[in-house]
């Protein structure tokens, strides 16, 4: 696609960059980018990609503009209140750059439509505030071989990763699975308005790099940003060979809608009496299972089993990766309720054969060790 005279004038500062030039700008003109979520992250990503001359932009959002959005969703102004976000965003981007094509997808992405929507695009930017959508988009991108630039924000912190097919881990490799709703969204937790501006702009940067082929994408690395300390950190992450979607033997072969998080005790959770657990721990040199005490820190400090690690239940979804997946861990709490919940979370995250200490530390003290203090 060659550039018109008006385009050459508009993108002159790109054309002046040797790394981009006319060839890179023509790649941008040919590029088709899907932006999932026209919110805090999608707003700056869409504005910068439109300004940069990304030829086709798709905006997926089924919400309407609310007044509380305007603190961070800079794609909208007060006059757009009440309008569908996809359509209001399309109008704003068209006004910014009439040279490009913007497609409004005023729908909710589901297993039934995600492949059809994504099929018309070369890469996806995920700024959704829903965990279930994030997994759905990730899985669809892996299955269709599309790069995905995924960001998330929470209060004063954000994180970013880029999935490039065949070059590193996907979102599910980093966060194998969490029950939907465990992570509070912006509505509940609050968010610094400028925070998604930083992360969404980084997403647009990554998209432009992937499209033009300049620089090094954030593949195989997780970037975190702490606005309060103004600190970026980077963590190397590997593709998981046992990843459910991009691993060597994937179990997810088509996008699927999320299931309700497990609540009731489930098949697959083993139940151990205190005496049965005691028998597992006693043999010297035996392969004792890892013990995970999910009580609060102060309860744990009052008295706990030797070698038990403390991961309070509320932290478990974020720290589930600390538990080896093939280790058949035993979860422990005061009376057996929280630990059963932990077992179901662990099962959902793919931890093999978790066990629950029936009756918890109270039962342990009663049946095995009367000297054990239990808060």
Residues that bind Zn ion (CB under 5 A): 170, 172-173, 243, 246
- The CA distance from 194 to 209, in Å, is 23
Nearest alpha-carbon partner for 148 in 172, 131, 123, 128: 123
Neighbours of 223 (CB within 10 A): 18
Q: How far is the CB of 177 from Zn ion (least distance, A)?
A: 11
Calculate ∠ Cα 75-80-82, nearest 5°. 120
Our CB check for Zn ion shows the closer of 77 and 238 to be 238
Nearest alpha-carbon partner for 274 in 366, 344, 342, 343: 366
Our CB check for Zn ion shows the closer of 20 and 246 to be 246
By three-state DSSP, how is residue 199 classified?
A: helix
Residue written as token pair 């099962």 = 347
Is 186 designated active site? Answer: yes
Structure tokens at 139: 């899985």
What are the angstrom distances between the C-alpha of 158 and each of 34, 181, 203, 226, 326?
21, 18, 12, 7, 30
Cβ pair 47, 96 in contact under 8 A: yes
Is 173 designated active site? Answer: no
Nearest alpha-carbon partner for 47 in 9, 6, 102: 102
What are the angstrom distances between the C-alpha of 27 and each of 145, 213, 268?
19, 9, 51
Cβ pair 239, 250 in contact under 8 A: no
> Could you tell me if residue 204 is left (phi over 0), alpha (psi between -120 and 50 degrees) or otherwise beta?
alpha
Q: How far is the CB of 256 from Zn ion (least distance, A)?
A: 15
Options 170, 186, 243, 343, the catalytic residue: 186
Structure tokens at 357: 């200490």
Q: How far is the CB of 247 from Zn ion (least distance, A)?
A: 6
| Residue whose C-beta lies closest to Zn ion | 243
Our CB check for Zn ion shows the closer of 178 and 305 to be 178
Q: How far is the CB of 49 from Zn ion (least distance, A)?
A: 26
Q: How far is the CB of 180 from Zn ion (least distance, A)?
A: 18
Options 141, 170, 173, 333, the catalytic residue: 333
Q: How far is the CB of 138 from Zn ion (least distance, A)?
A: 8
Our CB check for Zn ion shows the closer of 105 and 172 to be 172
Task: Check residue 288 and report its DSSP letter.
Answer: P
User: Annotated catalytic sites, by residue?
Assistant: 186, 333
């Amino acid at each position: 696609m060659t550039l018109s005279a008006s385009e050459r004038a508009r993108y002159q500062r790109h054309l002046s960059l040797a790394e981009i030039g006319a060839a890179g700008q023509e790649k941008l003109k040919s590029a088709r980018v899907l932006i999932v979520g026209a919110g805090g992250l999608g707003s700056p990503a869409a504005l910068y990609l439109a300004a940069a001359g990304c030829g086709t932009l798709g905006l997926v959002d089924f919400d309407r503009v609310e007044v509380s959005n305007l603190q961070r969703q800079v794609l909208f102004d007060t006059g757009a209140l009440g309008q569908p976000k996809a359509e209001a965003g399309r109008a704003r981007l068209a006004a910014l750059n009439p040279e490009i094509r913007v497609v409004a997808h005023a729908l909710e992405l589901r297993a039934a439509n995600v492949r059809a929507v994504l099929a018309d695009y070369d890469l996806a930017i995920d700024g959704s505030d829903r965990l279930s959508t994030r997994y759905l988009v990730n899985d669809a991108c892996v299955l269709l071989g599309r790069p995905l630039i995924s960001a998330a924000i929470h209060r004063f912190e954000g994180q970013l990763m880029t999935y490039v097919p065949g070059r590193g881990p996907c979102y599910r490799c980093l966060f194998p699975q969490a029950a939907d709703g465990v992570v509070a969204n912006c509505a509940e937790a609050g968010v610094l308005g400028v925070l998604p501006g930083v992360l969404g702009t980084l997403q647009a940067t990554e998209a432009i790099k992937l499209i033009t082929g300049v620089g090094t994408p954030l593949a195989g690395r997780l970037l975190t940003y702490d606005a309060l300390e103004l600190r970026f950190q980077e963590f190397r992450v590997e593709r998981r060979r046992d990843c459910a979607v991009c691993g060597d033997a994937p179990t997810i072969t088509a996008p699927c809608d999320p299931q309700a998080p497990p609540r009731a005790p489930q098949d697959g959770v083993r139940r151990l009496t205190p005496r049965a657990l005691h028998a597992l721990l006693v043999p010297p040199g035996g392969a004792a299972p890892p013990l995970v005490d999910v009580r609060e820190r102060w309860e744990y400090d009052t008295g706990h089993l030797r070698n038990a690690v403390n991961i309070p239940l509320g932290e478990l979804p974020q720290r589930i990766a600390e538990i080896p997946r093939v280790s058949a861990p035993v979860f422990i709490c005061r009376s057996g309720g929280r630990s059963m919940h932990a077992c179901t979370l662990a099962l959902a995250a793919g931890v093999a054969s978790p066990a629950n200490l029936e009756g918890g530390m109270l039962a342990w003290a009663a049946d095995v060790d009367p000297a054990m203090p239990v808060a």
